[in-house]
Amino acid sequence: MKDNTELSESYPHLNKINSPDDLKAVPSEEIPALAEEIREFLVKTVLENGGHLASNLGVVEMSLAIHRVFSSPRDHIIFDVGHQAYIHKLVTGRREAFSTLRQAGGLSGFPKRSESEHDCFGAGHSSTSLSAALGFAEADRLSGSDAYTVCVLGDGAYTGGMIHEALNNCRKKLRLIIIINENEMSISKNIGRFAKSLSRLRSTKGYFRTKNATTSFLRKIPLIGNGIFSFLRNVKVTIKSALYGSNYFENLGLYYLGPVNGNDEEAVERLLREAKESKQSCVIHLKTQKGRGYPPAEATPDRYHGVAPAAYVAPEGTSFSEEMGHLLSAMAFKDEKICAITAAMASGTGLLRFKSEHPSRFFDVGIAEEHAVTFAAGLAANGYRPVVAVYSTFLQRAYDNIIHDVALQNLPVVFCIDRAGLNASDGATHHGIFDVAFLSEIPNLKVFTPITRAALRKAMEEALQSNGPCAIRYPNGYEDEAVTAAFYGNAIPGGIGVRSNYLHTPSDSPEHLDAVIIVHGRIVREAMAACELLKERNLQTGILLLEQLKPYDTVAEQILPLLPQKACKIVFLEEEVRAGGMGMMLSDALSKHEIMQNKTVSIMATEDSFGIQVQKEPIWKTVGLDRDSIVNTIFNL
């Protein structure tokens, strides 16, 4: 990042914005130049450090208009998901720290209450914004506050049921402004030339000036003024409805404005001021261009939705997500009952090949994880083999559906759980650290944890032949060659199970071991590094790598012959939460056997925490699961 002098020279307008009040003071004619500088700043910074680019480039003018019309933090600004809040961060005093975005101890990639008073509500998941905004608006009503609540959501959020549940509860007499940012799919009826002309008319200065003057004049006529106003308003609504149909939002009793060009700051600002002056719940419909101002992002906005840091070099081969998608598509050629389901994450979960090769059996249900799971249960109950590909952090949203609709009926639904474990760059909202605990308590469900592509293949083959529900969880990223070499060598696994590596021992017998680390997932690399340090202290340590967690009694039976008969230390290591996790469940299953009577046990996991990095250090160290912490635990056990 440039220093302040260079920043002032390269971004003379942006460098003057340290608060929303500074933005309000910018003359209207200088706003386009400021917007251009912000786009240049975003492209440079995000391409260098990584982050969400296309979505933020599309909402520059909208974000500026919001902060010019409303007064944060007194007025509440809530972003759905929040990955499009970068401009909001820039104009609310966080420009100097922007180079730390998504870095350890730096700015979050999403709104975060503890980061700034201007972030009134944290986000990271979709379709939650309007429910939260409604809560803010109702709280202001109850307290007698005249503050406004502004809710910014993309059209994709409307595929999530929570938005509609919240809309159903929106009352007219609230100071609630709902901004719909349409940038991909149409959510409004195609209403033809008349409606387009009306939209242009309604976004002009003259329209609102004339409308307000007419309203004021009619209401001042003694005795009959209000009656005339109501009559004319009803006539207008009737004519409009007859010409191009009713409006969904107006049918709900909400004042609707738009659609207008959301990349026209002046037009957006006019609509926001009209909505503010109406002192009622309003919907403002904007159409923006994703990736605007950066040609590569304009041409392929999906590729620039999430950008990796410039220094990142992807390993050779396919990621776990891509490998899962390739395997599933190949299996679907052999089994016509296999279907794939995604909740608006076809690319992220590796299902693009399946979508291309088996379009009739591919289902994108939108941002609706609950529906995805119960929909899969219906497919399974009627003879098909559905696979739900979903990020761990989003699977949380469908917990009840997994229990009630899938497991209770013992239906053969397969959950391919992506981004399992800690995910440092996206932070706490995207850590996949809860699924092991909540899946472990569900009857009839098997849980697999492959950490190599070969093991992933075996897990998928077994899951798709199972008569009940199965979950296969794997991390974001690629196979670790060092792990593959240590636990597999050149051998191809014959089945899914427990892989042993008795590092630094004279033979393959466990009787030479002083300690055993039982681990699953990519954190096995920290275990391997710890073993190297323990060797220097003359402590012989072995590692048991789990490819399956549940059923725990079955896994325990596989572990028993791999443990020393003598007294030794056993550490259960996982990057997920401790309560209800692998360590607690498996140690309990093993404790039923006599061999454990002379063993000293410790569980290392992400303790009662969301794994929030507050220091500039690796996430493993933040949560106390790095190699040094493992060594200290074993030595002090």
As annotated, the active-site residues are 290, 369, 397
Q: Which two tokens stand for residue 392?
A: 């761990």
- In 347-497 the beta strands, taken as DSSP E runs, fall at 362-364, 385-391, 414-418, 446-448, 470-473
Residue owning tokens 């076809």: 346
Measured between alpha carbons, how far is 332 from 354 in angstroms, rounded to an integer?
8
Show the CA angle centred on residue 545, arms to residues 542 and 550, nearest 5°: 135
Partners of 548 in beta bridges: 448
626 phi and psi angles, rounded to 5 deg: -80, 175
Q: Closest by alpha carbon to 189, among 265, 244, 229, 142?
A: 244
Q: What is the DSSP letter of 255?
A: E
Helix (H) or strand (E) holding 246: none
Written as one string, the DSSP assignment of 484-546 is HHHHTTTPPPSSSSEEEE-TT-SSS-GGG-SEEEEE-STTHHHHHHHHHHHHHTT--EEEEEE
* Cα dihedral across residues 484, 613, 618, 108: positive or negative: positive
Q: Closest by alpha carbon to 432, among 618, 581, 586?
A: 581
- Is there a contact between 445 and 399 (Cβ–Cβ < 8 Å)? no
283 phi and psi angles, rounded to 5 deg: -120, 125
Measured between alpha carbons, how far is 301 from 299 in angstroms, rounded to an integer?
6
Measured between alpha carbons, how far is 206 from 49 in angstroms, rounded to an integer?
45
Whole-Å CA distances, 3 to 9, 14, 84, 322? 10, 14, 25, 40
24 phi and psi angles, rounded to 5 deg: -60, -30
Q: How many CB atoms lie within 10 A of CB 470?
A: 25
Q: Closest by alpha carbon to 483, among 447, 519, 443, 508?
A: 519
Q: String of b and e for 276-288 (b: at least 16 CB within 10 Å)?
A: beeebbbbbbbbb
Measured between alpha carbons, how far is 129 from 345 in angstroms, rounded to an integer?
20
200 Cβ contact partners less than 8 Å away, ≥ 6 residues apart: none
Helix (H) or strand (E) holding 593: none
